[in-house]
Every structure is written in structure tokens, then in C-alpha cells.
Structure 1
Amino acid sequence: MPGTGAVPLGLRVLALAALLACSGVRRVRGGGLSNIVVIVTDDQDQNLGGMTPMKKTKSLIGDAGATFVNSFTVTPLCCPSRCSILTGRYPHNHLVRNNSLAGNCSSAAWRGGAEAAAFPVFLSKRRYQTFFAGKYLNQYGLKEAGGVGHVPPGWDQWHALVGNSRYYNYTLSTNGVEEKHGDNYTDDYLTDVIAERALRFLDNRSPQRPFFLMLAPPAPHRPWTAAPQYRTSFGDVKAPRDGSFDKTAKDKHWLLRQPVNPMPDSTVAFLDDAYRRRWQTLLSVDDLVEKLVRKLEELKELNDTYVFFTSDNGYHTGQFSLPIDKRQLYEFDIRTPLLVRGPGVNANVTLKAPVLNIDLAPTFLDIAGVNASALDADGLSFLPLMAPSLRNGSRRPDFLVEHTGEGLSGADPTCPKLGPGLSHCFPDCVCEDSFNNTYACVRTLDGRVDMQYCEFADSESFVEVYDLSSDPHQLENIVKKVDPAVLEKMNRRLIKLQSCQGAGCRALSTSVRVELSGE
């Protein structure tokens, strides 16, 4: 018999359950695993106002969780970046270098190698119900890339776009079966199709097992086709004129020195239109996020679900007179949005620690109770950073950004003898990439030093160095002003990062920072 004042066992159990619910500890279900949802947009910048249209997303994910203000891609190009998300590896380890088959995008080597050991395989082994909808990789589904019948391992439900981003008149691989779509808004607008199928999956899932959803809408990638109800939105908005917009790049790599400066009025008008249309397409993504969060709420799963929102890379619209693209080493192309809510993540917090897209896969596996070493990931889980009650985390001192320049047949004529550029030619036939636009950078952001050191693999052995604490828009290349001893240290660090793999990369990510004094 309990003594006077003792709490009956049943009440004690109820009190403990209430305490756990309030503390954000994951509740028990199918092994105690939380659900995971990740939304990956296409070419959504962080630095140029790319999140401004996303009011619902910022409210439902950012205000309810963590906003990472120093989120980066390790390579500013769609296919290799998405492969880094899937594998947790730098491009020099997953070996996908650009958006072409020749660059290993959806190649036989990718399908038989890194793809077969990507994070969905491990989630499936943990009995997660897995769902994918939207853009996968740029060459996916083409006959020479395995065709629509190829469903990557680890996915239970598969609704992947064949080829690159489109909004209408596209083909899906629906669980390996070809499904053609036309131009009817109600039936075919891809962002809405992704949302509808995700909601259907959630309605039909097994409540006894955790789920993982990866949604990859086409927005705001060109051709920037907005839903009918949003085609007149942001009529007065213009591409931002601050920072490096239409600035000369006389001390930068040759690719940055060849655009006409100042840009013609016709180019600026084109950029304003492109900027508005990009925002218009994002309004449907904002609706998708709202529908998804409300569905999780309705199913009483929201409090036990981590929801991630991010992009594959940034973008530029007129910076250094480059009209539109990504692929460059500057902040506008390598910074990405990242918002996360979920169990143990405090509401409305801003986190400054650098986080990379190669950290996403290890974080997903950490949530699922899988060690990152099983994935042989180069990245680190950032679950401890956003949910510190679960475990202490560490902050990396620096990281690698790498890009392998690409040249295509039919290249525009403005790319000189130094190498062919991309085949598209708008609005001014400015060369945005070429074979010798191949670079690797050490980006240092450790709380005291905010710096970037980059080397180009070209005949000039060109180097760019920026002190972003005093020059956040990277207007001045200070390589000739920096102590040579510092340059030597950064060169050695770059060599280590470029050759690291798996545990070696993770060790570098947690090592003592490189001292950047010349002494």
C-alpha cells in the first residue's frame, strides 16, 4: 500500500508521458523512430531574397523550428549537388561532376555505384516507408540513363520527373511506369501534382511504421511557369540592385571578366522579369508546404516529424554582370536556404554554425538511428546542433566547395579559345561556364574568420581570395594583399579537403581550425 501522499502508479505514468511530450523527446513507434520530410527546391537562392515569397514556409517551419543562416552547397550545380544530398559525399567522392551523362549524371557508373548506397537504402532497412516525387537528377529517365523503368533502390513509392525541371508537358516515372502529362493546370501542374501525391501517400501509409518523404518541386528553375492564380503577383518587384549587381570583375577569373559592363537596359529588363517569375513559381511551393504541414497536423504526426526545407544551390541575376545561372564560387551561388522543425528543435531559433548539403544524409540517418559511417559520408549530422538536448554537437572550422567546368557542343561564340561554354545563349550570350571554369575553394567560417580561398585548374593557376567580414559581396580579390604564409596554409588545407574521403573528411570537419596569421 502506498503511504499517504504517494502518487498512484497510473498517474505517475501519465505525468511522465506528459513530460516527455513537452520536452520534445521522440515518442515510441516502430522502434521509436521519428518521421522525416524534406523539400528540395531547384535553384532557390538565399542571398538575393529567394525566401521572401515563402511566408507560409517561414511561419510553419522556420518560426516553429530552426533557421540556418550559413547553409551551403558543396557544388553550385543541380545534378552533382543532388547527388551530394543523396550520398552525403563531396563530388570528388560520388564522382558526379556536372549535369551531363558524360559528367556521370544518372550514368551507369552512378547507378551501379554511389546511388546503390545512398541514404534511402539505409532508411528502407530501418523499415521506413519511403516516398519520392519531383525532380531527381537532370538526366534521369532517359533511355541512355536507364529509362523510366529504373527506380533507384530504397524507394517504396516513386514519382520522378524524366529529365530537367518543367511545369507542364513532362513525363513521370511512376513506380517505373511511364506517365505523360500535358498542359492542363488542374491535372498537370507539377508542383501541385507532387503535393497531391504526397498527401495521398500520407493518407495510405501504415501508422505502425515511420515514413520518409522527399519532395523536389521544379520551382524556381526556368522556364519559370507560374500557376494561373500567381501570374500577376509581384508586379512591382525588380531584381535587387545592391551588393555585386552589375559590378565589374576586373580582378576575377577570366569568365567573370567577359560580360559587358554595364549591362544593356534590355538585359536588366530581362533579369527583372526572370526575378519576378521565379518568385511567382515559389508561391505554389509555399502552398505545398502549407498543405503538407496541415496534413501532418490532421494525422497527428506533426509533433513526431522532422520537416526540412532547402534547395540544391543558389542563383544569380546580374551579379558581376552575369545574367542568370549558378556554377560560380560566390556566396549568391553557394548559399542555400535551410529551415528545419521537429522533435527537440526549439521554436524560432537562428543557428549560425555552417551546415552543408552533404550533412543532410547523415542527419536523416542520425534521426533513423543509423551511424553515418555506414553511409561512408563525408558530411556530419547536424541533429545535435538543432536539437542539443539529444547530444552535443561540433562546429566545423571550414569546408570545401568544388566545381568542374563544363563545355557543350554548339557553344555560344562569346566563349573564346580558352574553352567552349554552355549552349544556351540568353539574354546576351554571356559565357557562364567552360572547361577551365574548374575550381576548388576553402570556405572558412569559424566564428572569428570569414574567408574564402579558391584555386582554378587552368593555365593561369588563378587564385581568388576574399575577406567576407569586410567585403561580404566579394568585390575585391585580395590575393596580392594577403601574407604569402597564409596563402600557403590555405593551399595545404585545400589539398587535404580535395583528397579526403569518408571518415577522413569528417575528421577534418571537426579538427582545430587553420590559424590564419602569418606568424
Structure 2
Amino acid sequence: MPHLKSLLIDQGVSFSNYFVSVSLCCPSRSTTLRGQYSHNTHVETNGGTNGGFQTAYTLGLEQSTIGTWLHSAGYRTAMIGKYLNGYPGGVSDTYIPPGWDEWDSASKGNPYSEFNYTLNENGKLVAYGKQSQDYGTDVYTSKATSFITQSAKEHKPFFTYLAVYAPHQPATPAPRDQHLFPDVKAPHTPSYNEADTSDKPAYIHERPLLSAQAQTRIDQLYRKRLQSLQAVDRAIATLYTTLQKTNQLNTTYIVFTSDNGFHLGQHRLPAGKQTAYEEDIHLPLVVRGPGVPAGKTVDQITGNIDLAPSFADMAGVKPASFVDGRSFLPLVHGNMPTTWRQSYLVEHWLQQNSAHPQTNLGLQESDDPDQETDISGSKAAKIVIPEYHAIRTKDYLYVEYSTGEKELYNLKTDPAELSSLAATAGPLLLKSLSERLATLKSCKMDTCRSMEDQPAP
């Protein structure tokens, strides 16, 4: 992604320790909008009674988001692309949540495939087909470009939340990119197809090694993911140029990140995103904007609960009082606060389904490959990751599962998380981590920040 590197990374600040608290689409996106851990949004999964758009809608979460905060402060606001999983199930296909002046999000069809979907464009349903000009990433980029240009004409500040689907499965590339990288293979990191998983929880150590067939599928998906990201890279250049042409580049913050990570063969898992391991929770975050130094790196621990309060800070707006996160804008400008986070909470729940199945569930995504097939490729077994809660510090990852299993990794000496120390670590360290985790997994607002700021065990 050369434009990402030259226009954002080389001209901005990169965060080396940025994490998502739940590595799953809808919980993470709800956190992005609200600045809360998922145990406080109560959007814990992608659907059912404890997740998805329906839960966010029923609980009224949309009544106070970064969209409403900035809209109330006079900003033109745009939500373009993927919203919350299950949108707009149970409500109107033309439903627009509060706070958004521009709304372009799919309400029908299969937007994950990048073709054959219907957008709710400000209350009007517009169908897109299978022609090259209908390719999703390009359409969303065009919408964002028009919105930015119109904001400049009206001399109004703006906030654009551009959420493309790529590289989500099926990771469909733009037609022009579908033959790129013909020989690329997924990186064989130290934990790829891990030889000894005896220290891992049962859902992993009971799995056989990846078959040759499974590894071929991993390579194919990795290739498609890279191909699909080329349109995202071009989108960065397009938006950058638009800001230049409208004389807004020097007064606009550009923030680049994602809502979840992804593993591809690590720890014998074919492809997916819901573990507490580095591949899933440790993401890129890049910020470019006014007064931001070029090519710098911030090492402090930051997370997706910080996005909404940081956007508010950039706009000079006070976030809602319920926010658990904090603004990372001082770090961007090189101003280290007196205290800062030493621990970050990571969580995972199982989807709870009602005894009375809902109809009209809205747009749903398919399971990740490691949830729908076993290693040999049959439909005989699903990988079920137990509910867990975890702490990520600069040095450690500590995980407690609902099964009673635990994991502990020293990331300084074992960055690939190959050897769990849960059975051999000193009791004082384990007790300290467990007590901190117990507080964090039920924290709210100031209690989250004060506990996170305590020196790491």
C-alpha cells in the first residue's frame, strides 16, 4: 500500500501499541462510535440478544455517538460504508441514525462481495450491480470525495467516517487488481502452524496441524486480501488529493485504522479474528494532520475506546460523560500526559440467541473460515473460542477463559506467544494480573482510566 506509506505513515504519527478490546466487527465499531468498552455498550457480538445493530438500536446507543456530538457542534457529518452488523434489521430500510448529515450505507444485497448491493443514500434506496463502476470501495470513496468537496463549498467543518468492507471476506478485489501478486503466500510467522500447542487452551491444542489443503486456502485468501486493499490504497490518494484541491489538507486530521485484526495460520487456526493473540488485537493506527510531526512513532498503549474522545478533541468538542477512553491527541503532538494507560482490556463473548428467532435480521456476515470448517475443510466441526477476558500490557498478555483455562505470555521474550507461562509464573504476578482483570472487566468511565493507569504488574 504505497500511498498509505507515503501520504500517511511518512507524513504522520504511527502508534506501535494500538489495540482493539474486542476483535470483532460490531462490538469494535460500537466502541469506535461511543468510546466505551463492550461490556458498557452491551454490544458484545455481531448478533443475537447480546450484539448486532438490533442491540445497539434497542438500547438507544445511537442517540449519543461521535456523530451526534460533532453534528451538535456544527460539523457536517458523514457515515459512508459499513455500519453495524445486522443494519437495518427490524427497522426501515431507509432508517438513518441520529447525528448524520450524509448517510450512505448498505441496507440490502451483499455488500461484503463489493457488488450487487443496495445503498440507503440519505433515505433513498439505490441499487448497485456487477459492473466495474459498482465496485464498493470505489463507490464509497466517491461519496466521501463529494461530501468533502461540498463541505468546502459551504465553508463548514466536516467529519467523515469512511468504513470500507475490504479486506473482509470474501475479499473481492477490484477488477483491475484481480491478477496482482500471483505468487504471494501468507507470511509464515513463528507461530504459523505451531508445532507444539500443549500450552494452549483446548480449542487450540485439540486441533491437528494445518493440512496442505488448508494452507493453500490461507494463501489464496491472503492474496485476495492484498488485492482488495489496492483500491483502499488508491482511496487514500484520492481523498488526500481532494483535501489538497479544496485547500483543507492542512486543517484536516486523517486517521487510518481498522476494527479488528486477523490471523492466517497462526497457532494452527486457518483464518479469523476473535482470539486474544497479537494478530487479532494489535492493529495499525496512523494519524496525519495539522501540527503532527512526520514519520514519528508513539509507543504508549492506545485502543479503540480512545477513538471517539480523540475525534472530539480534534474538533474541540467535549465527549459524553460515559466515555471510558481518552484522547490520544496530546500524544500525537508529542505532549505526554502526567499519567497514561499501562493496561488494556481485551474481551470475547459467545453470541446469545433468543428462543424466538428474529426475522428481518438485516445484513449479516458469514462466519470466519476457522468457525465454519474443520482443518480438513469439511463442515463437521466449528472452532468455538470460549468466552474470555484478558489484559494486554507492554510486556504481558494474560487471559482467563470461562473454561477455567489461563494463558500468560512474556511478550518481550516471546512476541509470537509460543510458550504460555500460566503454569509456571510466580503466584504474586498471576494474582496481581487476575485482580486487575477483575476490576477492568466491570469498570466504567473514570474507574477504567484510573485502573489502567496503575503501574503494570
Q: TM-score under structure 2 normalisation?
A: 0.91
1:354 aligned to 281, 291, 301, which one?
Answer: 301
Paired with 1:405 and 1:86, the residues of 2 have a C-alpha distance of 22
SS class of match (2:435):
helix
How far is 1:153 from its partner?
Answer: 0.9
How far is 1:135 from its partner?
Answer: 0.5
User: Matched residues, percent identical?
Assistant: 37
Preserved contact between residue 189 and residue 266 of structure 2 (Cα < 8 Å): no
How far is 1:362 from its partner?
Answer: 0.5
Q: CA deviation digits over 1:107-136, x for unaligned, max 9?
A: 155454222111111101110000111111
Match of 1:495 in 2: 438
Which sections of structure 2, spanning at least 5 residues, go unmatched?
355-368
Preserved contact between residue 384 and residue 393 of structure 1 (Cα < 8 Å): no
2:415 corresponds to 1:472: yes
Aligned residue identity for 1:93: N
Q: What's the RMSD between the two structures over aligned residues? A: 2.0
Preserved contact between residue 118 and residue 375 of structure 1 (Cα < 8 Å): no
1:482 aligned to 406, 425, 444, which one?
Answer: 425
Do the aligned partners of residues 318 and 266 (structure 1) sit closer, same or farther apart at CA in structure 2, a change above 3 Å counting? Answer: same
**Matches of residues 361-380 of structure 1 in structure 2 within 5 Å?**
361-372=308-319, 374-380=320-326
Match of 1:457 in 2: 402
Match of 2:364 in 1: none
Preserved contact between residue 258 and residue 430 of structure 1 (Cα < 8 Å): no
SS class of match (2:155):
coil
How far is 1:165 from its partner?
Answer: 2.6
Match of 1:239 in 2: 186
Paired with 1:135 and 1:318, the residues of 2 have a C-alpha distance of 27
Do the aligned partners of residues 331 and 423 (structure 1) sit closer, same or farther apart at CA in structure 2, a change above 3 Å counting? Answer: closer
Match of 2:389 in 1: 440
2:455 corresponds to 1:513: yes
Do the aligned partners of residues 494 and 430 (structure 1) sit closer, same or farther apart at CA in structure 2, a change above 3 Å counting? Answer: farther
2:258 aligned to 293, 311, 323, which one?
Answer: 311
Do the aligned partners of residues 384 and 431 (structure 1) sit closer, same or farther apart at CA in structure 2, a change above 3 Å counting? Answer: farther
1:147 aligned to 68, 73, 92, which one?
Answer: 92
Aligned residue identity for 1:196: S
Preserved contact between residue 101 and residue 139 of structure 1 (Cα < 8 Å): no
Q: TM-score under structure 1 normalisation?
A: 0.81
**Matches of residues 254-269 of structure 1 in structure 2 within 5 Å?**
254-261=202-209, 263-269=210-216
How far is 1:388 from its partner?
Answer: 3.0
Aligned residue identity for 2:341: R
Mark the structure with the bigger radius of gyration. 1
2:143 aligned to 177, 194, 197, which one?
Answer: 197
Paired with 2:167 and 2:330, the residues of 1 have a C-alpha distance of 31
Bigger shift: residues 493-502 or 111-120: 111-120
Match of 1:250 in 2: 198
1:386 aligned to 326, 332, 351, which one?
Answer: 332
Do the aligned partners of residues 432 and 324 (structure 1) sit closer, same or farther apart at CA in structure 2, a change above 3 Å counting? Answer: farther
2:68 corresponds to 1:121: yes
Paired with 2:57 and 2:190, the residues of 1 have a C-alpha distance of 38
Aligned residue identity for 1:152: P
Aligned residue identity for 1:439: Y
Preserved contact between residue 116 and residue 127 of structure 2 (Cα < 8 Å): yes
Q: CA deviation digits over 1:328-373, x for unaligned, max 9?
A: 110000011111101121011011111101100000111122234x
Preserved contact between residue 87 and residue 375 of structure 1 (Cα < 8 Å): no
Aligned residue identity for 1:451: Y
Q: CA deviation digits over 1:127-160, x for unaligned, max 9?
A: 0000111111111123x2x232221111000001
Preserved contact between residue 48 and residue 351 of structure 2 (Cα < 8 Å): no
Paired with 1:433 and 1:408, the residues of 2 have a C-alpha distance of 18
1:300 aligned to 219, 222, 247, which one?
Answer: 247
Q: CA deviation digits over 1:145-200, x for unaligned, max 9?
A: x23222111100000123763301112111133222211111x1000000111111
SS class of match (1:486):
helix
**Matches of residues 5-404 of structure 1 in structure 2 within 5 Å?**
54-108=1-55, 110-142=57-89, 144=90, 146-162=91-107, 165-186=112-133, 188-205=134-151, 206-247=153-194, 248-261=196-209, 263-372=210-319, 374-388=320-334, 392=337, 394-404=339-349
Preserved contact between residue 259 and residue 430 of structure 1 (Cα < 8 Å): no
SS class of match (2:49):
coil
SS class of match (2:43):
coil
Aligned residue identity for 2:389: A
Q: In the comparison of the two structures, how many residue pairs are matched?
A: 437
Q: CA deviation digits over 1:265-311, x for unaligned, max 9?
A: 11111111110000000000000000000010111100000000000
How far is 1:229 from its partner?
Answer: 1.1
SS class of match (1:482):
coil
Paired with 2:346 and 2:155, the residues of 1 have a C-alpha distance of 41
Preserved contact between residue 270 and residue 370 of structure 2 (Cα < 8 Å): no
SS class of match (1:165):
helix
Do the aligned partners of residues 432 and 88 (structure 1) sit closer, same or farther apart at CA in structure 2, a change above 3 Å counting? Answer: farther
Aligned residue identity for 1:232: H
Paired with 2:243 and 2:274, the residues of 1 have a C-alpha distance of 36
How far is 1:431 from its partner?
Answer: 5.5
SS class of match (1:508):
helix
Do the aligned partners of residues 383 and 433 (structure 1) sit closer, same or farther apart at CA in structure 2, a change above 3 Å counting? Answer: farther
Paired with 1:154 and 1:360, the residues of 2 have a C-alpha distance of 17
Preserved contact between residue 397 and residue 512 of structure 1 (Cα < 8 Å): yes
SS class of match (2:14):
strand
Which sections of structure 1, spanning at least 5 residues, go unmatched?
1-53, 410-420
SS class of match (2:33):
helix
Match of 1:425 in 2: 373
Paired with 2:393 and 2:207, the residues of 1 have a C-alpha distance of 29
Aligned residue identity for 2:99: G
